[in-house]
Structure 1
Amino acid sequence: MAGLSALDMVNPYLSDRRQLICTELAILLPNTEAVIASNSKATSARFKEWTGHTQQSLEDAWKAEGFTKDAKTGSWTRPASGPVTTSCEGLIGQIFNKIESAGFGKRRGGGVTSFSLPGNDKYGKEPATPPPGWHWFRDKTSAVRPRAGDLFQIGRLVAPRQWYHHHVGVITGWVDGENPSWETVEAGQGGPGTGFDFIKRKGWRPLNPVDVRSPAKVLMGWLDIDEYFAK
């Protein structure tokens, strides 16, 4: 709706935890045009607050991972594949910290990390028992589904109950349907190829495909923050 910001759209009936996250993210990113970039003087402090990273820390990590910077374009490339540092998991870690600092509960463990919300092991294998608050998307029902403020995990199934983790972020809106629609806030939106990283609000869109460039990527599931941080 014209003239409205994300702050106007925060559901006042959300739990305190969800209100905290959705409201602060709405102030940070009031629309889909706003960008919080690691290399911008205007936004670098907020980027660090919300991801724990700086432009320098990202560049140091990329260099250690075998990337070389192109002095003309500012992009980073490397001849081989392998792990790549981005800020997407930093955003999740900072949200964990903000919830705890606000007095809305403590992390309940269960193997959850900022880049393995399902508590999968280092090989991506699913745990026998999911951690508190984790819900596999395959188990979604009309009553058990993501809500604004929940954290999501994107991955690719490489073997039965074994995943390659690609991405994490925050769900800021969800509407069920044959193909659900969602709105999200995500960090890790740049990376070495861009030469910097940024946080952005991604507007309403169908859930599937999650990534038109990589059809194998799917929504693995979500971490319900009210269940995970229950007092």
Structure 2
Amino acid sequence: MAAPALTEDYQLKLEKFISTVPPYVGDLPGQTPEVRSTGKGSKTLTTAKGKFSSDDVKAIADGIVTNPDFQRMTGYSQRSLLDKWVNDRTTTCNEFCSKCAVAMGYTSKDGVGRFDIADWLTRYGLGHCWVPASSGAMPNYGDVFRMFAQSSDHNGTNLNHMGVSLYVEGANWYTVESGQGGPSNGYDAIKRKRHDWRPDALQGWVNMKALIDAGKPVPHWLGGWWEVEEGAYEVWYYYFEAPNKVYYSSEPPANLYAPPMRPGTVGSFAMKGMFGVQVFWNSADVDEDFMAGLQDSKKRKFTMTGKTTRGVPLTATRMMISGLL
């Protein structure tokens, strides 16, 4: 099926980047051609009958041939895949998503190809770039999606996967994805695919246009939702978002990976050094100063303390996403 006409610059860049991936033909095994990690005549190893060792890889090193298109789109050569598969059997779906994002114009050093993408975006104040599958929306050409399900994939592991959405046509969802091979095959592959829209395993996707246009993210410890106690009795919920926006509400958030659906009071904030935050409300509410307290990334616990310009003490605890996202 032909993709719809593209007008956005980032989408045209992606189309060019994946131009060597053959078009989708059908769902049957072998029906749609793919870009494999192996070049013509390459030797390889598989885990179909067990593991292979570093010595096994070295023994065939002179006969390993890499497909340059696969390496360009994932960063992996066939040799580096085999070296990885000695101990780590993951494929290259994440790396492919990150390379596609860069090709579209996403310039951050941090790639979007990560399984905790919803949490990661929120932590940098970019939660508005994450679209949950339950939203009723549909992904655009170039949006990076996240899937997870307990059912096993073709490598015998749980479906824990990412890919790039192309377009939805009726009940059909067309994508391009890496990770279509694996260590049991001896190669990895990139392929255009069709899914039934909307698969139960779909968690959501990154709105790449919003991400590319978002500007500088906030510090990793600040973005997202905070529970703020003002004095001894009042509790508020703050959401820090790029670029330098903050909202507050008296109601707890419906979910932790998105901005408030109906923003209450809106304000702005400015960093004071690395760990100080000054909040300025666009209302009669008094301004506030915070300083980061506990910073424990491993335990996912962050706090701030501060006070209003009237001297009322403030304590804040970051509200962290739990579970696999």
State the TM bucket, normalised to the shorter chain.
0.5 to 0.7
Task: Summarize the Cα distance change of 1:49–1:133 in structure 2 as closer, same or farther, 3 Å threshold.
Answer: same
1:135-183 CA-partner distances (Å, limit 9, x unpaired): 010122xxx32112211110138xxxxxx8700011111135xxx4201
Residue 87 of structure 1 aligns with an amino acid whose one-letter code is T
Q: Distance in 1 between matches of 2:124 and 2:208?
A: 21
8 Å CA contact 1:10, 1:22 repeated in 2: no
CA 1:94 to 1:19, structure 2 compared with 1: closer, same or farther past 3 Å? same
2:141 to 148, 155, 179: 148
- Answer whether contact 1:22 1:148 (CA < 8 A) is retained: no
C-alpha deviations, 1:6-60, integer Å up to 9, x for none? Answer: 6xx3433431111221343244323442211111239710000001111111111
1:137 aligns with 2:102: no
Residue number in structure 2 paired with 1:197:
188
Q: Once the two structures are superposed, what CA deviation does each residue of 1:117-152 show, in whole Å capped at 9, x if it has no partner?
A: 63337xxxx879763411010122xxx321122111
TM-score (ref. length: structure 2)? 0.47
Structure 2 alignment gaps of length 5 or more: 26-31, 42-65, 151-157, 216-325
> Residue 168 of structure 2: which of 166, 169, 174 is its match?
174
Count of matched residue positions in the alignment of Structure 1 and Structure 2 = 176
Deviation track 1:178-207 (CA, whole Å, cap 9, x = no partner) reads: xx420111100011111110011113x413
Question: Kindly tell me: are residues 193 and 108 of structure 1, through their superposed partners in 2, closer, same or farther at Cα, counting changes over 3 Å?
Answer: closer
> Which amino acid letter does the alignment assign opposite residue 184 of structure 1?
T
- Under a length normalisation based on structure 1, what TM-score does the superposition of the two structures give? 0.65
The DSSP-based 3-state class of the residue aligned with 2:173 is strand
Q: 1:165 to 1:190 in 2, by over 3 A?
A: closer
Q: Is the 8 A contact 2:20 2:69 kept in 1?
A: no
Aligned partner of 2:177 in structure 1 is 186
For the 8 Å contact 1:135–1:223, the answer to whether it is kept is: yes
Structure 1 residues 24, 10: closer, same or farther in 2, change over 3 A?
A: farther
Higher helix proportion? 1
Percent of aligned positions that are identical: 24
Range moving further from structure 2, 89-98 or 128-137? 128-137
Would you say the 8 A contact 1:10–1:19 is kept in 2? Answer: no
Q: Deviations over 1:93-117 (max 9, x none)?
A: 11122123xxxx53497xx741236
Higher mean C-alpha displacement, 35-44 vs 167-176: 35-44
Aligned-residue RMSD, C-alpha: 3.0
Cα distance change of structure 1 residues 27 and 190 upon mapping to structure 2, 3 Å threshold: closer
Which residue among 76, 85, 88 is the counterpart of 1:53?
76
Q: Please identify which structure carries the higher strand content.
A: 2
Q: Which residue of 1 aligns with 2:210?
A: 227
Q: Secondary structure at the match of 1:89?
A: helix
SS at match of 2:39: coil
Counterpart Cα distance in 1 of 2:166 and 2:112: 20
1:96 aligns with 2:101: yes
C-alpha distance in structure 1 between counterparts of 2:123 and 2:16, whole Å: 33
| Contact residue 168 and residue 197 of structure 2 kept, 8 A | no
Conserved in 2, the CA contact under 8 Å of 1:169 and 1:185?
A: yes
Aligned to 1:74: none
Using a 3 Å threshold, how does the CA distance of structure 1 residues 113 and 19 change in structure 2: closer, same or farther?
Answer: closer
Q: Is the 8 A contact 1:87 1:188 kept in 2?
A: yes
- SS of 1:64 mapped into structure 2: coil
Aligned residue identity for 1:134 = W
Partners of 1:41 and 1:90 in 2: CA distance: 23
1:63 aligns with 2:86: yes
In structure 2, the CA distance between the partners of 1:14 and 1:108, relative to structure 1 (3 Å rule), is farther
